[in-house]
Structure 1
Amino acid sequence: MSNSNPIHIGIIGLSNGIYMGGSWAGAAHHPYLTTSPYYKITALQNSSIESAKAAASTFGLNDVACYGDPESIAKDPDVDLVAVSVKVPEHYKLIEPALCAGKDVFSEWPLAANLADAEALTKLAAEMKVKTMVGLQGRQSPAVRKAKEMIAAGELGDILGSSMSGTWMVQGDMIPDFFEYGLDINAGVNMLTVLVGHAIDSFCYVLGEFEAVQAALINNRPQMRLVDGEGKVIKTVEKTIHDRISVVGKLKNGGVGTVVYQTEKSNTGKPFYWEINGTKGSLVLECQDGSIQMIPPTLKFASREPDAELKNVELEDGSAISYNVGRQYDAFAGKENGSFATFEDALIRHRMIDAIYKSDKNGTRESYV
């Protein structure tokens, strides 16, 4: 890809605000895309043309086309790649027109609100022979990439097992009112699909897939208090999503894997802790929240030599909120810095999530690949 011939990208969902829905595009996508020689933002689509124009003005994108519907941005001849960064329940109806128009597509994770929609989108993308990317950007975290590299190089020896535990910043005994839509499990945006989806994707990216999974999910608080931006309780609503999740299984590449997540932050000082044990040594990844796709973990290594100490592994600085997203875009543009997740990769993770739900419901061990 020549710097003089950048990929023309149309963004669906660029706006200001908190990290939910399209605002993630403003926080993580826009800073990279406006400084990269490999991309040029040529179009925006929001819920209305007026909203798209307001976003263009806010972000200083004065020469972009503005649209209020997905069919129009999909048909724009000056758009090569459509990036969809909105609430998960809206993904299918925004992605499908772009695929039908033969455009390459980026979608935030989850790809869709359910497995059936993810399968349909993946099938359509294959039929249209377009290039796809999904925002499973935890794979690009410096600690995750380094852990994968060290394991591949044999520095840990044979893998004996790995355990990951984390907490979610979004939900505890109360939740911001903007997330009310996500309290319905059918919306497809909750701790399992989003946070665990991101984390377990990084887990499997480093260690390989599970042979099968056995899961236990619980909804400890079937009612949830909603609070406004000032922390004032507005009302109490019904909640059908889970707030504690446990997944265990044998790994195809050897060893046992365990992933446990909860919505309550503990006072143990371990908001995120991931340990990988091998015959030659162990790795530990830690950070201040289970959202490792956004917050870069540290990485430490201890060999199995007598009296060996846990030592920091030097990493590239990945603290910028746009770092992981930018590395994805770099890889998509053909820079030699690793791979990126596609719709096919996302479908594996959707099938895994479906297997987790089935395992919990039926008390069974479920395979997904």
Structure 2
Amino acid sequence: MAESQKRIGLIGLSAKGSWATKAHLPYFQRTDLYKITALQNSSKSSAEAAAKEYKLDGVATYDDPSSIASDPNVDIVAVSVNVPQHYDLVRPALEAGKDVFCEWPLARNLSDAEELVKLAKAKGVRTSVGLQARQNPSILKAKEIVDSGKIGKVLGTTMYGHGGIFGPTVPEGFLYALPIEAGANLLTIPFGHALDALCYVLGEVKDIAATLVNHRPELELITNDFKPTGKKVSKTAHDYVSMTGILVNGGGIVDVTYAPAFSRDNHDFHWVINGTEGTLILDGAKMGGHVQIMQPTIKLATDDSVEDLVVDKAADPSFNVGKAWDAWAGVGLDKGYTETTWDVALIRHKMIDAIYRSAESGKRENYL
């Protein structure tokens, strides 16, 4: 192993498939910057099965977060599991003084996120959060165009997406997300990723007014392979989200709405940025409005022409995630890829908390 190569203790790699399998593992298998040296799952046998399935010879396997956190052959603990488990898995790593990557959302709520960020700063460790839409080539291109002044002053922006979740049915594997307290819902995940992309391109938002609705408080339960069970389950998380506000930088109007499930017209994401000199249009097909995963097309429209902009292709979910890992190692910074620390995560948690407050009070709220 190269002297500069960082050793990863990965939590959440499943032999049966998981987000870590799709997004993190392919990157780690092709990079020389990092090496997986340890795995932790809910049981040691599960971790061993993952090591065998993916031919991760020689890795240590664990069934509890304290053990992987104390492994001297682990430099970075990477947490890639369901949101409600983040706090309990991240905290031991911080207490052990390890650098930590954690998926977005960082925690179930603002209070837990604040506690984790405070502890990370006290321990002096490096942190990264999975807001990888910032590495999406189309998002980077949009930021480049806006920053260049080609579209002039931003007058306003409208974003509409389908979150892919919380339609009329829910698979058994997603039951954990139904209580609003879990912090894993339409607002926090697809909407949250999209908001972060918007703020990365255009800057933060003030004077937020939000409406949240739970149209389907009861869903049909299906198996993970989409077969009906004949059972119904209750949901308290919202399934329709709408927010308006004003850009802190320049006063442009912001309007973002996310709907549940998928579109009926094969059109799950549409984002328009309207300026005095031009307009950017980002479009996504039927992949759900998860801009951290899917790659929208991007066009620049002026009074004289409409131009399809050429960007790198994000071939699979590991592309954006991999660029985020590269950036943490200092690679690709000259191409616009950036570190996304927990300071960013905390700002986004505060923004989401402001949305909740506005929806409850009916008043405009701020988070900066």
TM-score band w.r.t. shorter chain? over 0.9
TM-score, L = length of structure 1:
0.95
**Is residue 137 of structure 2 the alignment partner of residue 138 of structure 1?**
no
Displacement of 1:155: 1.0
- What's 2:34 paired with? 39
**Is residue 337 of structure 2 the alignment partner of residue 341 of structure 1?**
no
State the alpha-carbon separation in 1 of the partners of residues 145 and 313 from structure 2: 18
Q: 1:282 aligns with which of 279, 292, 296?
A: 279
Relative distance call for 1:45 and 1:283 in structure 2 (3 A) is same
The Cα offsets for residues 252-307 of structure 1, whole Å up to 9 and x where unpaired, read as 1120111100004333443110000111100011112201111111111111x2xx
Displacement of 1:50: 1.3
Q: 2:78 aligns with which of 80, 83, 90?
A: 83
- What's 1:272 paired with? 269
- Which stretch of structure 1 is more off in the superposition, 3-12 or 188-197? 3-12
Displacement of 1:17: 4.2
State the alpha-carbon separation in 2 of the partners of residues 16 and 271 from structure 1: 30
State the alpha-carbon separation in 2 of the partners of residues 152 and 50 from structure 1: 50
- What's 2:293 paired with? 294
State the alpha-carbon separation in 2 of the partners of residues 272 and 283 from structure 1: 14
State the alpha-carbon separation in 1 of the partners of residues 227 and 142 from structure 2: 39
Displacement of 1:51: 1.1
The Cα offsets for residues 120-170 of structure 1, whole Å up to 9 and x where unpaired, read as 000000000100000000110000001001111111111111000000223
State the alpha-carbon separation in 2 of the partners of residues 360 and 281 from structure 1: 33
State the alpha-carbon separation in 2 of the partners of residues 57 and 300 from structure 1: 45
**Is residue 11 of structure 2 the alignment partner of residue 7 of structure 1?**
no
**Is residue 278 of structure 2 the alignment partner of residue 263 of structure 1?**
no
Displacement of 1:176: 1.2
**Is residue 169 of structure 2 the alignment partner of residue 205 of structure 1?**
no
State the alpha-carbon separation in 2 of the partners of residues 54 and 101 from structure 1: 26
- Which stretch of structure 1 is more off in the superposition, 335-344 or 44-53? 335-344
**Is residue 239 of structure 2 the alignment partner of residue 240 of structure 1?**
no
Q: Partner letter of residue 270 of structure 2?
A: Y
**Is residue 162 of structure 2 the alignment partner of residue 163 of structure 1?**
no
Q: Partner letter of residue 35 of structure 1?
A: R
Structure 1 runs, 4 residues or longer, greater than 6 Å off: none
Relative distance call for 1:8 and 1:279 in structure 2 (3 A) is same
Displacement of 1:171: 2.5
**Is residue 143 of structure 2 the alignment partner of residue 148 of structure 1?**
yes
Displacement of 1:4: 4.6
**Is residue 314 of structure 2 the alignment partner of residue 315 of structure 1?**
no
Gaps of 5+ in 2: none
8 A contact 2:24–2:321 mirrored in 1: yes
Relative distance call for 1:13 and 1:252 in structure 2 (3 A) is same
Displacement of 1:207: 0.4
Q: Partner letter of residue 44 of structure 1?
A: L
**Is residue 21 of structure 2 the alignment partner of residue 54 of structure 1?**
no
**Is residue 98 of structure 2 the alignment partner of residue 99 of structure 1?**
no
State the alpha-carbon separation in 2 of the partners of residues 76 and 11 from structure 1: 12
TM-score, L = length of structure 2:
0.95
Gaps of 5+ in 1: none
Name the % identity: 48
State the alpha-carbon separation in 1 of the partners of residues 340 and 16 from structure 2: 26
State the alpha-carbon separation in 1 of the partners of residues 51 and 279 from structure 2: 48
SS of alignment partner, residue 240 of structure 1: coil
State the alpha-carbon separation in 2 of the partners of residues 35 and 177 from structure 1: 33
**Is residue 245 of structure 2 the alignment partner of residue 249 of structure 1?**
yes
State the alpha-carbon separation in 2 of the partners of residues 11 and 361 from structure 1: 38
State the alpha-carbon separation in 1 of the partners of residues 151 and 359 from structure 2: 33
8 A contact 1:295–1:319 mirrored in 2: no
SS of alignment partner, residue 107 of structure 2: coil
Q: Partner letter of residue 357 of structure 2?
A: K
Displacement of 1:3: 5.4
- Equivalenced residues, count: 361
- What's 1:224 paired with? 219
Displacement of 1:231: 2.6
8 A contact 2:15–2:49 mirrored in 1: no
